[in-house]
Amino acid sequence: MKRLALDVYNTLFEFVRTFGAFQLFFLRLVKHSPAIVFTRFDLVVKQVYNAGALSLVIIMVCGLFVGGVLGLQGYSNLARFNAEDSIGVFAAFGLTKELGPVITALLFAGRAGTSLASEIGLMKATDQLSAMEMMAVNPVRRVLVPRFLGGVIAMPLLAAVFSAVGLFGTHLVAVELLNVDVGAFWQQMQNTVDIEDINEGILKSVVFGVAASHIAVWEGYNAIPTAEGVGRATTRTVVITAIAVLVFDFMITAMMI
Amino acid sequence: MTNKPLDETSENLIEIRDLKYSRGPRPIFEGLDLIIKRGEVTALMGPSGTGKTTLLRLITRQLIPQQGVICVNGVDISTLNIRKLYELRQRFGMLFQNGALLTDISVFENVAFPLREHTKLTNRLIRHVVLTKLHAVGLRGAADMMPAQLSGGMARRVALARAMVMDPEILIYDEPFVGLDPISMGVIVRLVRRMNDALGITSIIVSHDVAEVSTVADRSFLISQGKVAASGSPDELRTAKSELVRQFMHGMADGPVAFHFQAPGYEEQLLGRDSE
């Protein structure tokens, strides 16, 4: 019994300690960010390319299909109320406020987050980070901050692309396939969707981008420098990002309604 | 008087006094004293697991000792702030066991890396310096290759070029001879000696290759059980009387360093009596 209590205490203590270190790590990233943005923006650009441009294909393909599904589901449900013309509004709300940011963040964790975590973990395992320190270069600043910023910049852009391609997918299904009136489809969307709705989506995608990049960089940097350790860090990146994204999504939605 | 600042021309470049360091419950160094002289090639030898690499990390303050003083150029490095530490590290060059080249950039960019980070040299000048250093290690032709395309020996030579590119005062080699074929080994051995003499730097080699070290080192320290077990020139060590030194220098399987790791009695364990 005493051992159980001690175990619980230790686990809790360790969790709080790690969580605190995680937050302090965030402050370190933020602290070094302005210097990197103003002096070494080329490094950030490269990482925006790695995290963003290289994720474009998967984001666009997924967006197209998610949009298509929204078209099918929306049509079959809205048609019962003779409201199939509103399908554009239905899809636009769904994509810009929820599905766009959330699914993009989950895909981002799987595509870019894992590659960040494993890259940084392997750099650590092969002494590249130590070598940088020995060359008097701060690896947090030179390696981690550009990758973090790259993710933060790429994520909202990807979410926007996802939503746009998704709407196109809905258009294809609803208008081209199911013969919803094209004028009604786009006109109703324009009339109903406000800038606040778009802003909510942007806010979410920024928050998710910060969270996903922070988690990936943290997990990679703190990976145990072995094959197993790096593998575990990669898995944890996806799992923790997924949880964080959904929790944040709930919190932001609750705040905005 | 360990805290007394020494002038830059002092003979002792690195002084370590009463160093204690333990990882978890396992003590690694227990009162280690060591002096590295300017301009010499110093070898740190010892059986694997005695913390030779740890000692290098302590000297460069990648790790911080629990007790004891490490002075570089007469300055206690534990008193330095980050900025001063980085200034000091610019005077170090370190060759890691596996080279530790940055895998996402080419050989040329790897060697240029410290220059791009710390200097404002023009691209033309950087190109000039990098090609000179690559030429010195015989790999000018590999400038455009990626680190993954290099063999182990080539990677280590590129890493050596990178370690030298800022013209350091101290070059540290962590196991430079491990896993090299005889040709690459000979190349590295000659490079170590040539760098040291031609550029007037101080070299520290961590290794357990007795034969290779003997050909380059001016002075060797044999580290065992957290202390310096013996020191002197390679010849002095070879003729030393101490059991441990003899075992190490002549590569005998059993001696003060036991062949068997700590274990319960062999017979007991085979007969399963230990689990009862």
Q: CA-based angle A77:A80:A84, to the nearest 5?
A: 70
Domains: count for chain A:
1
Give pLDDT, residue B12: 82
Report the percentage of chain A scoring pLDDT > 70.
100
Nearest to A204 by CA among A239, A254, A164: A254
Give pLDDT, residue A244: 96
CA dihedral in degrees (A247, A248, A249, A254; nearest 10)?
100
CA dihedral in degrees (B235, B236, B241, B246; nearest 10)?
-50
Q: What share of chain B is helix, strand, coil (3-state, %, to 5)?
A: 40, 25, 40
CB A206 within 8 A of CB A149: no
Flag whether residue A77 sits within 8 Å of chain B, measured between CB atoms: no
Q: Which of B56, B62, B117, B166 to mutate to test the interface with A (most CBs of A within 10 A)?
A: B117
Q: Which residues of B208-247 are buried (b: 16+ CB within 10 A; e: fewer)?
A: bbbebbbebbebbbbbbbbebbbbeebeebeebeeebbbb
Of B97, B118, B162, the CB nearest to A136: B118
CB contact under 8 A, A133 and B62: yes
Q: Which of A135, A137, A142, A143 to mutate to test the interface with B (most CBs of B within 10 A)?
A: A135
Give pLDDT, residue B1: 37
Residues 102-131 of A with CB under 8 A from B: 123, 126-128, 130-131
Long-range contacts of A174-181 (CB under 8 A, 24+ apart): A174/A71, A174/A74, A174/A75, A174/A84, A174/A87, A174/A88, A174/A91, A177/A71, A178/A71, A178/A75, A178/A84, A180/A75, A180/A84, A180/A85, A180/A87, A181/A85
Give the Cα separation of B208 and A39 in Å (integer).
Answer: 44
Q: Give the model confidence (pLDDT) of A173-195 as tens digits.
A: 999 999 999 999 999 999 999 99
Please compute, for residue A232, the number of CA atoms within 13 A of its CA located in the half-sphere on the CB side: 8
CB B141 within 8 A of CB B107: no
What is the residue-wise DSSP string for B50-71? Answer: S-HHHHHHHHTTSS--SEEEEE
Nearest-by-CA chain A residue for B159: A131
Distance to chain A for B36, nearest Cα, Å: 19
Cα dist from A190 to A2, A171, A178, A205, B182, whole Å: 64, 14, 21, 22, 75
CB B257 within 8 A of CB B247: yes
Give pLDDT, residue B4: 42
Of A127, A137, A138, the CB nearest to B100: A127
Nearest-by-CA chain A residue for B102: A128
What is the residue-wise DSSP string for A89-114? Answer: HHHHHIIIIIIHHHHHHHHHIIIIIH
Distance to chain B for A161, nearest Cα, Å: 28
Give pLDDT, residue B9: 57
Beta-carbon contacts below 8 Å between A and B: 51
Give pLDDT, residue B6: 43
CB B80 within 8 A of CB B128: no
* pTM of the predicted model as reported, rounded to 2 decimal places: 0.85
Identify the segments of chain B with pLDDT beneath 70. Answer: 1-10, 274-276
Query: Phi, psi at residue B128, to the nearest 5°?
Result: -60, -50
Count how many residues are written for chain B.
Answer: 276
* Lowest-confidence region among A15-24, A227-236, B74-83, B231-240: B231-240
ipTM above 0.85, yes or no: no
Of residues A238 and B182, the one with the higher pLDDT is: A238
Nearest-by-CA chain A residue for B86: A136
Give the Cα separation of B221 and B231 in Å (integer).
Answer: 4
Give the Cα separation of B93 and B114 in Å (integer).
Answer: 10
Q: CA-based angle A214:A215:A219, to the nearest 5?
A: 120
Amino acid at A51: A
Residue B273 is encoded by which pair of tokens? 């009596």
Mean pLDDT, residues A91-110: 94
Of residues A233 and B251, the one with the higher pLDDT is: A233
Of A123, A128, A136, the CB nearest to B89: A136
Element (H, E) at B203: strand B202-206
Distance to chain A for B156, nearest Cα, Å: 13
The domain in which residue A143 lies consists of 2-256
Sequence-separated (6 or more) residues with CB below 8 Å from residue B130: B108, B111, B112, B115, B143, B161, B165
Flag whether residue B167 sits within 8 Å of chain A, measured between CB atoms: no
CB contact under 8 A, B100 and A130: yes
Give the Cα separation of A199 and A88 in Å (integer).
Answer: 18
Residue B255: count other Cβ atoms within 10 Å of its Cβ.
14
Q: Give one word for B138, left, alpha or beta, with left for phi > 0 and alpha for psi -120 to 50.
A: left
Flag whether residue B92 sits within 8 Å of chain A, measured between CB atoms: yes
